[in-house]
Amino acid sequence: MRFADLQGNDELKRVLARMADSGRIPHAILFEEEDGGGAFPLALAFLQYLYCADRSGGDSCGICPSCNRISKLIHPDVHLVFPASASKPSAAFAGEFRALATADPYFREADLNAALKVDGKNTSITVADSKQLLEALSLTALEGGYRSVIIYLPEKMNAEAANKLLKLIEEPPQLTQFLLISHRTDRLLPTISSRCQHIRVYPDDGHGAAADFESPELFFELMDALVSKNLLSCLETGEKLAALPSRESLKAFCRYAAANIRHIFLIRQGLERLGTARANEDGRDDVARYARSLAATFPRRALAVLDRTMLLVDRNVNPKLAVTDMVDSLYKLL
């Protein structure tokens, strides 16, 4: 994965290349993104540039042995940590992760769960992952340069794993690089977050959170019911949402709804051109209509409701209860 293979975030790519060229690289970088927004391929392109034996013009060569191994996620000095089964470390699923990430580096959390066959189950980064990482980093780099760790969704670390990782980030071994990719930095241990250089990654036109929900009509159906103040229709749509095939599907709805509600907020702030430009083409007229019909306080408070719903889903609350609570809370904002 070269920088040239990525669309968007051009200035960010230049900044990362300058970091590597100068040798002044933060030992821990926290990439913040919407689910599927492109932080993983960006982190991979950065590592490929960092390890490349023949980089030039602000990009890796793409053909040297280091570039080849990193692009295939088989470099011996690059370690991967991600949420998997609560009973097994992520290393036990390394093959499945590599197959998914090399086939589609813009994968989403739901794609990962499906690839690991843990869809609908609680996933986490456990203390076993931290212990394996400690052991791996206690050894000398096999190729004599950097050792790197990509941690996908560090917000899913349990408390013991997070505390062990904190010690590593506070006092990292020499020439060790941590790259954390988070969808919810607010759920990270504050002491970990504060020790990282934060970088926001914005999705390009072809990827991003708003595209990962397969039934967008349910959002517009719910919004139409809310705008018309029809509680019965709201609850009927809620029944359809509760019947979605998995918890990940419900979380995808929340992300899709949040993206559109942010567009409503932009329009309410007088930035109609920006708000409608960012909305999905099929829903632009509806988004503009909702903005004219809803109270100015609705978007901000609705986003808090959606955040709470995602939290309830993550905590294994019954989907029907979580959705009913969401619909009721949104109706009360009218």
CATH number at residue 53: 3.40.50.300
CA dihedral (7, 57, 196, 151) positive or negative: positive
Q: What is the mean pLDDT of residues 92-117?
A: 89
Domain stops at, among 140, 166, 200: 200
Band (137; pLDDT cuts 50, 70, 90): confident
Task: Give the lowest-confidence range in 60-74, 129-143, 202-216, 302-316.
Answer: 202-216
Band (263; pLDDT cuts 50, 70, 90): confident
Task: Give the lowest-confidence range in 45-49, 112-116, 211-215, 280-284.
Answer: 280-284
Q: Are residues 17 and 162 in the same domain?
A: yes
Q: Is the pLDDT of residue 283 over 70?
A: no
Q: Is the pLDDT of residue 218 over 50?
A: yes
Quote the pLDDT of residue 81.
Answer: 94
Rg (CA), the chain: 21
Q: Is the pLDDT of residue 59 over 90?
A: yes
Band (268; pLDDT cuts 50, 70, 90): confident
pLDDT top residue among 266 and 330: 330
Q: What range defines the domain where residue 275 resides?
A: 213-332
Q: What is the mean pLDDT of residues 74-99?
A: 89
Quote the pLDDT of residue 165.
Answer: 85
Q: Please list the alpha-helical segments (H only) found in the chain.
A: 10-22, 39-51, 65-71, 94-103, 109-116, 127-137, 159-170, 190-193, 217-227, 231-242, 247-268, 272-278, 284-293, 298-314, 319-332
Residue 207 lies in a domain: no
Quote the pLDDT of residue 117.
Answer: 86
Q: Are residues 186 and 229 in the same domain?
A: no
Q: What is the mean pLDDT of residues 145-168?
A: 89
Quote the pLDDT of residue 278.
Answer: 46
Overall pTM surpassing 0.75 (yes/no): no
Q: Is the pLDDT of residue 160 over 60?
A: yes
Q: Are residues 52 and 167 in the same domain?
A: yes
Q: Are residues 52 and 193 in the same domain?
A: yes
| CA torsion angle 305 206 203 156 (round to 10) | 60
Task: Give the lowest-confidence range in 165-179, 281-295, 306-320.
Answer: 281-295
Q: Both tokens of residue 154?
A: 């560090």
Band (167; pLDDT cuts 50, 70, 90): confident
Domain stops at, among 178, 200, 222: 200
Q: Are residues 273 and 145 in the same domain?
A: no
Domain stops at, among 200, 231, 257: 200
What domain count does the chain have? 2
Quote the pLDDT of residue 240.
Answer: 95
Q: Are residues 194 and 278 in the same domain?
A: no
Quote the pLDDT of residue 282.
Answer: 52
Q: Are residues 261 and 182 in the same domain?
A: no
Q: Are residues 189 and 222 in the same domain?
A: no
Q: What is the mean pLDDT of residues 210-239?
A: 89
Q: What is the mean pLDDT of residues 151-156?
A: 93
For the domain that residue 221 is a member of, what is the CATH number?
1.20.272
pLDDT top residue among 257 and 122: 257
Three-state secondary-structure class, residue 199: strand
Share above pLDDT 70 across residues of the chain, in percent, rounded to a whole number: 93
